[in-house]
Structure 1
Amino acid sequence: MVEMLIDKDWYQELKLGNVKNIASVSGGDINEAFKVETDQGDYFLKVQPNNDASFFDHEVEGLNLINSVATAPKVIRSGTFNGNGYLILEYKEFGNGSQYDLGKLVAKLHSKHNDKFGLDHNILNAKNPKINDWSDDWADFYVHQRLEVLEKEVQKKGYWNDYRNNLLEQLKTLIFEYYRDHPVEPSLLHGDLWNGNAGFTSDHQPILFDPDVFFGNREMDIAMTLLFGGFSQEFYQGYDSVYPFADGWKKRVPWYQTYYLLAHVNLFGETYGSSLENSLEQSIDF
């Protein structure tokens, strides 16, 4: 990505007071990101080149939903300028803190419930598309609007075979059978809860970043925290102190890691193929 110039033409558009300095910072692989220092404070600016403000609508909704019960950067404003979408957030300095407190924060997030699974819009402009049609049934939602959506994507790219298909069909059957007798309550999920999207501010408070929210089974977020590590045992103890885990949750972790590994196969190809198969094999050994 070619770094764009945030020059004085932007200053009036941003409406952040007297701009003292704008510096490029790390902000992911799909946006340009900047720290904006002004006489009113510091801000975090994301810019999506050759797009418009609607690109950030889902992130804005997610941050606002999280902030209704937990902690995430606050949204200042989004807009479009010179053919580029932008999002302004409050700037947060990073620090360290208690994993126990971070677990409690995620439990608070999951304690925000809804009467249905899903969200009020689909996410179709992402590399891993998501269908969020409202559903009363978790198994139906997870199989048809998560697993099968990515199954089709990896099939189109040639990363599918009979062995993986057979395992996934067994997992789908298992999920439908299990949740027929074990209903779950829809929780607000972060949606992409790896350790890079959770941390601490300079005053040691836990905070969540870059959400991909929807209302689903909270075990999805927990499974993601265990997929790539970075969360200590204290995190899970803190979580359990606020919102106790359901019986047998550890056995169901592979059910949800399968989804995230499908997403990684879709993005990065066969690098994650063996991990996907391993997760599928563990899933049906229930």
Structure 2
Amino acid sequence: MFSLNENFLQHIDLPTDSKITRYHRVGGGDINQAYSLETETGEHYFLKVQPNSVAAFFQHEADGLKLLAQAVRVPRVLGMGQVKKDQWLLLESLNAVNDGDQYALGRALAKVHAITSPNQEFGFDRDFTAGKTAKINHWQKDWYNFFVEQRLAVLRGLLLQEGKWVVSDRDYEQAVNKFKLLLTDHVSQPSLLHGDFWSGNFMFDADSGEPIFIDPDVYYGDAEFDLGITTVFGGFNRDFYAGYQSLRPVDAGIDQRLMFYQLYYLMVHAHLFAGSYIQAYAGKLAQIIGH
């Protein structure tokens, strides 16, 4: 069990020559450990640690923050490295709050989605396989193929291995065939995605109110993917969607397409946490083929 100590902190490269004098653990999600650091001169930093992981575990997150910074506020990456097999990522400490202007938040996400892939294909320039759910990001010209082959099928394989696949192959095939049919009325473009845009992955600057995006899992995909994730666990109100559509109006039939991204996210949670999420994804698939 990892526990932050003075020896570990000696290996953290700070932007200044100050010494870390205080630190305490803070909420950092289900995968990483997170700490607030304070130096002898009163500087504050945010440290994320992934114990017993592969080298450059945080590179994907750092790359994602850099890409998102083209359009929105993100925490600045100040450094990353490893101590033995434990990986660390140092970020600026933000004076942020959880609640704020959701209209501005929606517009911020729309600005991210206005950025498209350099080759106009779906995917990313590298896979991310160090996490608990592998993300296969090989470039695809077609969104249907990318999403079904490199997202849904990968998760289905994991759920099969874990004994958590509780729906019939026939129902699954019927669902993905329906997805293909629904996409005929929608033009998919390879937008930059946050990739995990639930309510725990944004904040607001406590002084300016500016939205801040954190913990990305970026790739280039259909912008409706991010919107689908926002509808799974709540935390987004009407102002958010109005703000988004003020810059990027959505296509007709979006509600039916969003169900497939909800299905994906529930499958992710069934893989990670099991429990009620298994029946939740099964229920979502039944809802899809019942429409």
**Residue in 2 aligned with 1:76?**
78
Distance verdict in 2 for CA 1:268–1:51, change over 3 Å: closer
Q: Does 1:148 align with 2:153?
A: yes
The 8 Å contact of residues 106 and 241 in structure 2, kept in 1 or not, is answered as: yes
**Residue in 2 aligned with 1:262?**
267
Q: Does 1:97 align with 2:95?
A: no
**Aligned match for 1:200, one of 195, 204, 211:** 204
- Code of the residue aligned with 1:33 in structure 2: it is A
Distance 1:82 1:152 in 2: 32
Deviates more, 1:13-22 or 1:241-250: 13-22
**Residue in 1 aligned with 2:31?**
30
Distance verdict in 2 for CA 1:269–1:23, change over 3 Å: closer
1:114-263 aligned at under 5 Å gives the runs 114=117, 115-161=120-166, 163-180=167-184, 182-203=186-207, 204-263=209-268
Distance verdict in 2 for CA 1:205–1:159, change over 3 Å: same
**Aligned match for 2:53, one of 51, 64, 72:** 51
Distance 1:8 1:138 in 2: 43
Distance 1:12 1:4 in 2: 11
**RMSD between aligned residues:** 2.0
Distance verdict in 2 for CA 1:83–1:131, change over 3 Å: closer
Instruction: Report Cα offsets for 1:52-72 as digits up to 9, x if no partner.
Output: 551101101111111111121
The 8 Å contact of residues 51 and 84 in structure 1, kept in 2 or not, is answered as: yes
The 3-state SS of whatever aligns with 1:241 is: helix
TM-score, structure 2 as length reference:
0.91
Instruction: Report Cα offsets for 1:231-278 as digits up to 9, x if no partner.
Output: 111110011101111211122111111111111111122421221122
1:285, CA displacement in angstroms?
4.0
Distance 2:25 2:47 in 1: 9
The 8 Å contact of residues 135 and 151 in structure 2, kept in 1 or not, is answered as: yes
Aligned residues: 285
Structure with the higher fraction of residues in helix conformation: 1
The 8 Å contact of residues 100 and 237 in structure 1, kept in 2 or not, is answered as: yes
Distance verdict in 2 for CA 1:84–1:269, change over 3 Å: closer
Gaps of 5+ in 2: none
The 8 Å contact of residues 11 and 83 in structure 2, kept in 1 or not, is answered as: no
The 8 Å contact of residues 102 and 243 in structure 2, kept in 1 or not, is answered as: yes
- Code of the residue aligned with 2:234 in structure 1: it is G
The 8 Å contact of residues 17 and 40 in structure 1, kept in 2 or not, is answered as: no
**Aligned match for 1:88, one of 90, 111, 125:** 90
**Residue in 1 aligned with 2:113?**
110
- Code of the residue aligned with 1:18 in structure 2: it is S
Distance verdict in 2 for CA 1:2–1:79, change over 3 Å: closer
Q: Percent identity?
A: 39
Distance 2:16 2:139 in 1: 38
